[in-house]
C-alpha cells in the first residue's frame, strides 16, 4: 500500500548536441534504472533527445527525423516497462515546429504537450525556431506511427495521481500553465527545462518553485539540462528539484559531469487533503472554469495504462519533530511564536483593564514559558512587573528542585511572589470526602489541581486581575489536564504551543538572557523531567511521577498530533511515517502502543477541549473549539482504534 505517495524522479542525462542516438541511450539507461527502483513517473529535461542548444540545426530535417527515430527506440524499450516517461523533443506540426514534451508509457505516446511561452532573450531566441503551443490549434499528429493528441490542455490520469506538464519558461510567466493545470485537477506538475546558469539565478528559481508549488498546492518535479549541452555562450548545470506544497523534498548537485537521477515520493493524499480544507483553492477553481469569467476551458484527460502494484518503500526524509525547525529557522520560529503570545496577552490586559495577572509557578516548562510571556507583555506595555503575581503552591509531590527553581525565577524576574501551600486545604477536603490520603488515585491527584486553580481564581478576584493559563497543545490533545483544574484560566497563552516546542522556547529565552543566574535557572528548568508532581517524591526527594512514563513520549504524541490534526491522516499512514521518522529511536511495537493510546485519549478527552479558555493560535495546529477543531465530545473512536489494532 502506497498510502497516497507517488514515486517520481527528475533525471538529467549527459547529452551530445544533435546526437540523438547517444542521447537516447543515456535516457534509456536512466529510465531502466528508475523502473528498477519502482518509480512511477520520470521527467527528463527540455529537448533532451536532441539537446537543447542545437540552434539553427532545429531547421534540419535530418535532426527532426533522428529525434523521431530516437523516440521510437525509447518506446520499444519501454514497451515492457510500467514507468511513465516524459521526454523533450522537437515535433513538426501543421507547418510549425513545436518544443514538446512526449508522455510515454508501455510503447505508447499518451500525449504531446507543447511549450506555451517561448523566451526572447539574447542567448535564447526560441521564436527563431519554434511556435508557441498557444498559437496553433490543438489536434493530432502522426508521430512514431501513432496518431497522438497535441494540446497545452492535457491532463494525465494514473491510478495514483493526475499530472500535468509545462516546459521551462512556462513557469516564469505571470500566470504559468501549471496554475490552470492544477485548478483543473493536476496533483503534480512536471517541468522539462533548459535553464542556464547565472549568478543568483538558482536561488530565484528555488523561490519560484517553492511559491508555485505552495500556491497551487501541488507536487512539482523540475528537470533541467546538464553536462554536454553547448557551452558556447552559457552553461547548463543540471538542476533537478522536487517540491511538495512549498517544501523542498530533494535537489541534485549542480555542475556534475555524469548523469544524475533525483527521486522522492510526493504525498498526493496530503495535497488533496490540503485542497479540500483550503476553500480558496476550490473557489478559484470554480471561478476559472466559469464561462462568465471567460475562464472556461476544455481539458482533455488522458488515462494512463493501469499497471500491477509495485513494492513500495519510503525514501523521503520525514522530520520526527514537525513542530520544531532546525538551525536559523528555529530562532525565527521561536521569536515569532513568542511575539504572538506576547501580543495576545497584551491585548487582553489592555482590554480588561486588569491591574494584575495571576499564574501558578511550578518550576516546570509550561508555567515558566507563560511567566516569560507575561514579562514580555508587561515590559512592552510599560507596566511594572510587580503587577505579575506568581503563586507557588507546594503540594504533596512538590520537590525541592522545582520549588527552588520556581521561587528563584520569580525573584530574578522581579515579580510579586506569593506562596500558598495546598496541603492543609487538600487534607480537609479529603476528610470531608472521606477519602483515604494513602490512596493515590485520580481523586487524590485532581483535588490538588482543582485546589490550585481555586486559589488562582480567587487571588485574581482579590487583586483585580485575571488568571493566565499555562497548559500546552500536547496536554490538550491527550486530555492531560484536570477538568476545571489546570484545564481552566481566563487566557491560555500556551494553548497552541506543543510540548516539544515549549522546551525550545524556554531554552531560546535562556540563551538570550544576559543575567547569568536567570540563564542557569532557565536551563535547569529545561532539564527537569516533565511531571505534574501530584504524587510524593522518593526518599531522596526526586520526582517519581514522570508524565512521559505514563502517557508516552511527547515527541511521539506531537508527531501523531501533527499528522492527525494538520493533514487528517489515518493511523496506518501515521504509523508508516513515524517508523520512517524515528528510525531506531523506537521499535515498531512501541510506536504502535503509543499511537493507539494517543487515538484513544484524543477522542475520549474532547469534552475538555470543547470549553477551552481563549488563547492565541501560533501555528498551523490548534484545538480551539471556536476555530480549528470542532469535534463532538461523544464521537466514536472505533474506526481509528480498529486500524491501530490491525497494524503489523
- Tell me the catalytic residues: 46, 115, 168
DSSP classification of residue 496: T
Instruction: Single out the residue of 276, 168, 145, 292 nearest to residue 222, CA to CA.
Output: 168
**Which residues, including other chains, have CB under 8 Å from residue 156's CB and lie 6 or more apart?**
84, 103, 110, 111, 162, 163, 164, 165, 301, 302, 304
Closest of 368, 260, 271, 185 to residue 15, by C-alpha: 260
Other Cβ atoms less than 10 A from the Cβ of 464: the count is 12
Please report which helix (H) or strand (E) contains residue 440, including its range: none
Q: What is the rounded CA–CA span in Å between residue 480 and residue 552? A: 11
Instruction: Say which DSSP state 257 is in.
Output: S
Query: How crowded is residue 251: how many other Cβ atoms within 10 Å of its Cβ?
Result: 18
Cα–Cα nearest to 526, from 310, 372, 296:
372
What CA–CA distance (Å, rounded) separates 118 from 99?
Answer: 9
- State the Cα angle at 189 between 141 and 260, rounded to 5°: 95
Backbone angles phi and psi of 166, in degrees to 5: -135, 165
Rounded Cα–Cα distance for residues 206 and 216 (Å): 15
Q: How far apart are CA 557 and CA 598, in angstroms?
A: 7
Contacts of 433 (CB under 8 A, 6+ apart): 443
Which 3 state secondary structure label does DSSP give 366?
helix
Rounded Cα distance between 462 and 466, Å, is 10
SS3 608: helix
User: Which whole-number Å values give the CA distances from 450 to 100, 390, 509, 544, in the listed order?
Assistant: 70, 17, 30, 21
What are residue 140's DSSP bridge partners? 149
Q: How far apart are alpha carbons 338 and 345 in whole angstroms?
A: 11
Roughly how many angstroms between the first and final C-alpha of the chain, as a whole number?
A: 13
Quick one: 33 exposed, middle or buried, by C-beta within 10 A (0-12, 13-18, 19+)?
A: middle
**Of 225, 232, 233, nearest to 256 (Cα)?**
225
Q: Which residue has the cell 490512596?
A: 439
Counting other chains too, the contacts that 631-640 makes at CB distance below 8 Å and 24 or more residues apart are 631/606, 632/606, 633/606, 633/607, 635/603, 635/606, 636/603, 637/599, 637/600, 637/602, 637/603, 637/604, 640/570, 640/571, 640/599, 640/603
Amino acid at each position: 500500500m502506497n498510502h497516497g505517495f507517488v514515486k517520481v524522479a527528475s533525471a538529467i542525462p549527459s547529452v551530445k548536441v544533435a546526437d540523438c542516438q547517444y542521447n537516447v541511450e543515456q535516457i534509456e539507461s536512466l529510465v531502466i534504472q528508475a523502473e528498477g527502483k519502482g518509480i512511477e513517473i520520470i521527467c527528463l529535461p527540455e529537448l533532451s533527445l536532441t539537446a537543447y542548444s542545437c540552434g539553427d540545426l532545429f531547421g534540419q530535417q535530418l535532426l527532426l527525423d533522428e529525434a523521431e527515430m530516437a523516440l521510437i527506440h525509447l518506446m520499444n524499450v519501454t514497451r515492457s516497462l510500467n514507468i511513465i516517461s516524459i521526454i523533450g523533443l522537437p515535433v513538426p506540426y501543421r507547418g510549425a515546429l513545436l518544443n514538446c514534451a512526449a508522455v510515454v508509457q508501455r510503447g505508447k505516446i499518451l500525449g504531446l504537450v507543447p511549450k506555451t511561452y517561448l523566451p526572447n532573450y539574447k542567448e535564447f531566441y526560441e521564436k527563431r525556431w519554434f511556435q508557441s503551443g498557444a498559437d496553433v490549434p490543438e489536434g493530432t499528429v502522426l508521430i512514431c506511427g501513432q496518431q497522438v493528441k497535441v494540446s497545452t490542455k492535457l491532463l494525465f490520469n494514473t491510478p495514483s495521481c493526475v499530472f500535468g506538464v509545462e516546459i521551462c519558461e512556462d513557469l516564469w510567466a505571470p500566470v504559468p500553465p501549471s496554475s490552470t493545470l492544477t485548478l483543473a485537477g493536476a496533483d503534480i506538475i512536471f517541468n522539462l527545462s533548459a535553464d542556464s546558469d547565472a549568478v543568483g539565478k538558482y536561488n530565484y528559481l528555488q523561490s519560484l518553485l517553492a511559491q508555485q508549488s505552495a500556491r497551487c498546492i501541488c507536487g512539482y518535479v523540475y528537470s533541467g539540462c546538464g553536462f554536454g549541452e553547448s557551452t558556447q555562450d552559457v552553461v547548463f548545470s543540471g538542476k533537478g528539484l522536487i517540491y511538495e506544497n512549498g517544501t523542498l523534498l530533494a535537489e541534485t548537485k549542480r555542475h556534475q559531469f555524469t548523469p544524475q537521477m533525483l527521486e522522492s515520493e510526493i504525498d498526493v493524499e496530503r495535497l488533496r487533503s490540503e485542497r479540500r480544507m483550503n476553500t480558496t483553492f476550490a473557489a478559484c477553481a470554480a471561478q476559472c472554469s466559469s464561462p462568465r469569467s471567460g475562464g472556461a476551458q476544455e481539458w482533455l484527460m488522458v488515462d494512463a495504462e493501469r499497471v500491477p502494484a509495485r513494492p513500495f518503500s519510503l525514501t523521503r526524509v520525514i522530520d520526527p519533530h514537525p513542530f520544531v525547525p532546525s538551525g536559523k529557522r528555529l530562532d525565527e520560529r521561536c521569536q515569532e511564536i513568542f511575539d504572538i503570545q506576547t501580543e495576545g496577552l497584551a491585548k487582553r490586559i489592555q482590554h480588561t483593564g486588569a491591574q494584575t495577572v495571576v499564574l501558578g509557578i511550578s518550576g516546570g516548562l509550561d508555567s515558566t514559558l507563560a511567566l516569560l510571556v507575561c514579562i514580555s507583555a508587561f515590559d512592552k506595555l510599560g507596566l511594572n512587573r510587580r503587577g505579575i503575581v506568581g503563586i507557588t503552591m507546594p503540594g504533596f509531590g512538590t520537590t525541592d528542585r522545582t520549588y527552588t527553581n520556581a521561587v528563584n525565577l520569580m525573584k530574578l524576574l522581579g515579580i510579586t511572589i506569593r506562596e500558598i501551600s495546598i496541603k492543609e486545604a487538600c487534607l480537609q477536603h479529603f476528610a470531608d470526602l472521606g477519602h483515604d490520603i494513602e490512596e493515590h488515585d485520580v481523586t487524590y491527584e485532581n483535588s490538588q489541581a482543582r485546589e490550585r486553580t481555586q486559589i488562582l481564581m480567587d487571588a485574581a478576584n482579590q487583586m483585580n486581575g485575571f488568571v493566565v493559563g499555562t497548559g500546552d497543545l500536547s496536554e490538550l490533545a491527550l486530555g492531560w489536564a484536570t477538568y476545571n483544574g489546570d484545564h481552566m484560566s481566563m487566557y491560555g497563552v500556551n494553548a497552541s504551543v506543543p510540548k516539544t516546542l515549549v522546551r525550545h522556547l524556554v531554552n531560546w529565552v535562556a540563551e538570550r538572557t544576559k543575567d547569568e543566574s536567570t540563564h542557569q535557572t532557565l536551563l535547569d528548568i529545561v532539564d527537569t523531567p516533565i511531571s505534574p508532581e501530584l504524587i510524593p517524591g522518593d526518599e531522596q526527594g526526586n520526582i517519581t511521577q514522570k508524565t512521559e512514563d505514563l502517557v508516552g513520549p511527547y515527541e511521539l504524541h506531537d508527531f501523531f498530533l501533527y499528522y492527525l490534526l494538520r493533514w487528517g491522516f489515518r493511523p496506518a499512514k501515521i504509523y508508516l511515517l513515524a517508523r520512517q521518522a524515528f528510525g531506531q529511536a523506537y521499535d515498531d511495537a512501541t510506536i504502535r502502543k503509543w499511537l493507539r493510546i494517543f487515538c484513544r485519549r484524543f477522542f475520549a478527552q474532547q469534552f475538555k477541549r470543547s470549553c477551552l479558555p481563549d488563547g492565541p493560535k501560533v501555528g498551523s495546529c490548534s484545538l480551539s473549539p471556536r476555530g480549528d477543531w470542532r469535534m463532538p465530545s461523544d464521537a466514536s473512536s472505533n474506526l481509528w482504534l480498529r486500524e491501530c489494532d490491525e497494524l503489523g
